[in-house]
Structure 1
């Protein structure tokens, strides 16, 4: 009887196409580096980051800008590109914040033997200047960005606070650009996935990296610092509050279900969650 059942099951699987797929060759090593892409002092983080006045008023807060290098076999991609390179040695300051940059992405890549022309892809979490500031230093790379953000950058006249010139090689420059409207499997092997998380901007994305050592989730600007997570704080400059809260809910559930290491890209305390540069997580 058991033998007949086994044969029947095998026949059913054959008819329905559910038989086990043929063995595939092993995937190449996947590596992840954290790059230093800027430092900020937000002079009143309550006014800057909370539309419900959730934090102590009038207090400064230090945050960081983090970018990431991903190597998949012999292919390299950047996730976000930090503040503009011109800030090295020339900090900028206004009424809201002070910004500085210690070293460019290109200088950091040089330390691990990676040339700018080896970067084949740049994934952008969203269009704010501290995430696209050095993208144009890699003009041969394919730019992958949320469609809502790309559309917003093309609006004329340019909306206040947007700097499309930072993406000049792709916006009017002829560079290869891919606008994503849903989750995107960047290397088509299921290991580096842009996650649609709109709200901070119309086309905001987070990133899932499925390393051999475990899953890592990079927030983009869905969250800016740890204190924001439990209260679901929404910055007043987000483009859609309801979308922000829905994206936070999705992201939090993904983190739990995938047992992922969450790294808030602007949170200084999250820097040690990855090996210190020039070491890589794998």
Structure 2
């Protein structure tokens, strides 16, 4: 097994959602503002994007994108500079430079920018796309028809199990199902350190510490298995877990134009 490294990892500055905290973690109350970031990873064989966040137009016109019923519940915040396309361009890349897009799962706050990358190879976890088209009622609102229509036009691979993206251990798609059937996380090995980017396999640090599942997980038992898998991999890989939606993680770690290498 050869061991390579990704060259750089950027967390792209992101719009936020403000939601009731009990929707994220049992036993909490009040509002919480959470980021919806995307992560850009530079590898010698390609430029990889993990998650594409909210639809870029939703920052300035949430109702136009998400409708009168859903938009007011989301509390979308941010500026036009936080649009995914602008964040990528601000780092000196064109959208067409992105070669691989990994979606943690199909929910609208992780797939809103998929349409920006028609030429890339797209990766989902096994079982995600069937579920996205026929979800359980509790998750029906998080799968958007316009996203499903976009996915049908893309070069999509549904990954069974884990996948070492370039065969060198630098970027690994990690099967962490439960939140949705095809939820994946990503392990990024850099020269200086390793990260596990959790997508929605974990939502908040307290959830990881207490091993509580997310209130609307598709499969709670499987979700807890995935959460424990991430915790044990954190130890074995000596990796840093970066929870996409956790405001404390977002406050602690560097964002673009800052990066890790």
User: Structure 2-normalised TM-score?
Assistant: 0.88
Q: Is the partner of 1:122 in helix, strand or coil?
A: strand
Q: Cα offset for 1:27?
A: 4.9
1:36 matched to which residue of 2?
Answer: 13
Answer 1 or 2: which has greater helix percent.
2
Q: CA 1:115–1:31 in 2, change beyond 3 Å: closer, same or farther?
A: same
1:105 to 76, 81, 84: 84
Mapped contact 2:13–2:255 kept (Cα < 8 A): no
Which has the greater radius of gyration? 1
1:160 matched to which residue of 2?
Answer: 140
Mapped contact 1:218–1:264 kept (Cα < 8 A): yes
Q: Cα offset for 1:94?
A: 4.9
Mapped contact 2:62–2:71 kept (Cα < 8 A): no
Q: Cα offset for 1:200?
A: 0.3
Mapped contact 1:208–1:215 kept (Cα < 8 A): yes
Q: Does 1:237 align with 2:213?
A: no
Q: Is the partner of 1:100 in helix, strand or coil?
A: coil
1:181 matched to which residue of 2?
Answer: 160
Q: Does 1:83 align with 2:54?
A: yes
1:6 matched to which residue of 2?
Answer: none
User: Structure 1-normalised TM-score?
Assistant: 0.82
Mapped contact 2:59–2:76 kept (Cα < 8 A): no
> What is the CA deviation profile of residues 26-73 of structure 1, one whole-angstrom value per residue up to 9, with x for unaligned ones?
95752110012320111x211x124xx422x3x111111111001102
Alignment partners' CA distance in 2, 1:276 and 1:81: 15
Q: Does 1:196 align with 2:169?
A: no
Alignment partners' CA distance in 2, 1:31 and 1:266: 21
Q: Cα offset for 1:190?
A: 1.1
Q: Does 1:279 align with 2:258?
A: yes
Alignment partners' CA distance in 2, 1:273 and 1:209: 18
- In terms of mean alpha carbon deviation, does 218-227 or 243-252 score higher? 218-227
Mapped contact 1:194–1:207 kept (Cα < 8 A): yes
Q: CA 1:273–1:31 in 2, change beyond 3 Å: closer, same or farther?
A: farther
Alignment partners' CA distance in 1, 2:51 and 2:72: 25
RCO greater where, 1 or 2, for CA within 8 Å and sep 6 or more? 2
Q: CA 1:164–1:30 in 2, change beyond 3 Å: closer, same or farther?
A: farther
Alignment partners' CA distance in 2, 1:183 and 1:49: 26
Mapped contact 1:37–1:81 kept (Cα < 8 A): no
Q: Which runs of 4+ in 1 moved over 6 A?
A: none
CA RMSD of aligned residues (A): 2.4
- In terms of mean alpha carbon deviation, does 232-241 or 200-209 score higher? 232-241
Alignment partners' CA distance in 1, 2:145 and 2:102: 16
Q: Cα offset for 1:275?
A: 2.9
Unaligned ranges ≥5, structure 1 = 1-20
